A and B are shown apart, each in its own frame.
Chain A
């Protein structure tokens, strides 16, 4: 390539075109293809149609798995906002859906509140939890923050296990399922659709957030938080916001889970749960929405498909995390190169 001013030939350009990998070009072609709005929307519409039709043609078992998948999509995207967008390592995410689940459970069981009314309370509790946990700790370094969120997660679980109002170790049982427009939500198909809607909402909101003033602020903070602060970005506030939004995602998912399972116990909020959600986010690629969705699929489907691995499940997950971080820390979902 000739430099216009000096007429000198630059050899550098040849090196700049990175090597051979045919995959890279293929992936870029896909990205360019999906840039086209019509392509994007028609593919998504087709996909959605298939997903909506699924309950009619598949087994109950399949529906259970898929419902679990959508649940995980919501919580993983929630954690993605905290870890992927804002770059904060949170190891106690399970606490947030515990908050949602228990709030809904307690209100329905002990106070006879209608499910739909518990949702705004759940959101409120999530915001309070997010503020309580995030407020004092977000100024800490990432390593400390990880342990502190772990600690909070455990405190939440232990509190749930020790308090009477949360049913102690047995948890809450016999949570009534709600009715929607007169129709009782009883069949798994109902929950499939409910969680699918939540998942679609979560994806939509994630994309909107990513491509916004706030999303850009998070990107800058991830790159260099001091420079971001110097450029006028309120780093602490932005992080807190990420924490709270993430917690709301988790709490809502938890509320719906409470009525689906009609029972919740502290066992559902173990540290291992938090780790699995984190694994899904890391697997897909922190911050990449399609990747995270894929990760959620993988984390739910993989143990189902390989039923035999049962007790080896977490061991394999740990190994996957390790290998991933060493060889492909950016996650499995491929990036654009142009």
Chain B
């Protein structure tokens, strides 16, 4: 393949990968922005979304809906709602009681939730990979000698669309405004009559919804699911959120795409290859946190003493 072709290929890979990262990163960013919690369990929501959608899609496959695009879209919508609700339930049970507890306790709780989620799935799937069968084929189109399947193209478009919708939601609606306000001063919002609990629940709902959709897309794209798939993507998504500036929504999207591209092009660097791919990403995370913890678009926090 010529250099140009390699570039285009990696561009697509990077954008696709980056879309997944971005969608999951959004959830991290939103939740962190609103209650200052790094939700470890978020990555496992992504995984649960994948499995949930597979279950539904397989069911559809046996009905008239089929498991091609129609089935996929409906399955995605249902999954998003179910997993979104799961996110809300988790918040209610595990995080709400600890809203005023020290940070350490919250983090440990999130860890506990994460463990419950992926271990439950592990038990159910007996730790094996599950194939993600869809009725889709491998038809696609070519740009030069680079082949892009319709699936890949649609996934990218879908991911970007979701992110745009979210962006509009945050900036144009009252709910979005409330979310941003709460991230600035929770107690003040309470005093101003904002139903803080509802907004927080909404934040978790949306974040989980997006992660679930990413989980499903990953399943469709990679063709398989595994109970531990959330782990690595969790760190990568968190890296994306940090690159873009944690708590800043457009930053999460930007960070995700950036990381996806970096990773794709990074695998082409002879020394790094795919074995060290993860180490590469983790290193980026650490470097960013050390040198520019506020990220690209982040605001500098100054505490009042």
Contact = CB atoms under 8 A, between A and B. Distances in A.
B188 interface: no
Contacts of B127: 311
B107 A143 contact: yes
A111 to B, nearest CB: 26
A318 B114 contact: yes
B289 A137 contact: yes
Given A312-B123, A315-B119, A278 B108 contact: yes
Contacts of B268: none
A315 B289 contact: no
A31 interface: no
Given A140-B289, A147-B235, A158 B278 contact: yes
A182 to B, nearest CB: 44
Interface string B240-265: 00100000000000000000000000
Interface in A97-151: 136-137, 140-144, 146-148, 150-151
Given A137-B289, A147-B235, A162 B275 contact: yes
A89 B107 contact: yes
Contact of A321 (B108, B123, B285): B108
Nearest to A311: B123
Interface string A142-172: 1110111011101100110010000000000
A43 interface: no
Interface string B80-104: 0000000000000010011001011
A318 B115 contact: yes
A319 B238 CA distance: 24
Interface residues of A, number: 42
B122 interface: yes
Interface string B30-57: 0010001110000000000000000000
Interface in B272-302: 275-276, 278-279, 282-283, 285-286, 289-290, 293
B17 to A, nearest CB: 18
A275 B115 contact: yes
A290 interface: no
Residue in B106, B107, B111, B120 whose Cβ sees the most chain A Cβ within 10 Å: B111
A162 to B, nearest CB: 5
Contact of A325 (B105, B231, B275, B285): B105
A148 B38 CA distance: 12
B235 A315 contact: no
A325 B112 contact: yes
Contacts of A140: 289-290, 293
Nearest to A142: B103
Nearest to A83: B104
Interface residues of A: mostly helix, strand, loop or mixed? helix
B276 A146 contact: no
A226 B293 CA distance: 20
Residue in B106, B108, B122 whose Cβ sees the most chain A Cβ within 10 Å: B108
A226 B302 CA distance: 13
Interface residues of B: mostly helix, strand, loop or mixed? helix
A254 interface: no
B112 A143 contact: no
A154 B278 contact: yes
A329 interface: yes
Given A151-B282, A314-B115, A317-B115, A329 B235 contact: no
A158 B105 contact: no
B279 A158 contact: yes
B38 A147 contact: yes
A326 interface: yes
Nearest to A135: B290
Contact of B283 (A146, A155, A311): A155
Given A143-B37, A148-B289, A162 B276 contact: yes
A333 interface: no
A264 B122 CA distance: 25
B116 interface: yes
A299 to B, nearest CB: 14
Contact of B104 (A142, A154, A321): A142
B101 A329 contact: yes
Contacts of B104: 83, 87, 89, 142, 286
A193 interface: no
Contacts of B231: 271
A137 B115 CA distance: 25
A221 interface: no
A147 B285 contact: yes
Given A147-B235, A151-B285, A326 B290 contact: no
Interface of B: 32, 36-38, 94, 97-98, 101, 103-109, 111-116, 119-120, 122-123, 127, 231, 235, 238, 242, 275-276, 278-279, 282-283, 285-286, 289-290, 293, 305
Given A83-B104, A151-B286, 15 more contacts: A137-B290, A140-B289, A142-B104, A143-B38, A143-B103, A146-B107, A148-B286, A154-B279, A154-B282, A226-B305, A282-B108, A321-B109, A321-B112, A325-B105, A326-B94
A-B pairs, top 4 by smallest CB distance, nearest first, are: A318-B115, A321-B112, A322-B112, A315-B119
12 contacts: A140-B290, A142-B107, A143-B32, A143-B107, A144-B38, A314-B119, A318-B116, A322-B116, A325-B98, A325-B101, A325-B105, A325-B106
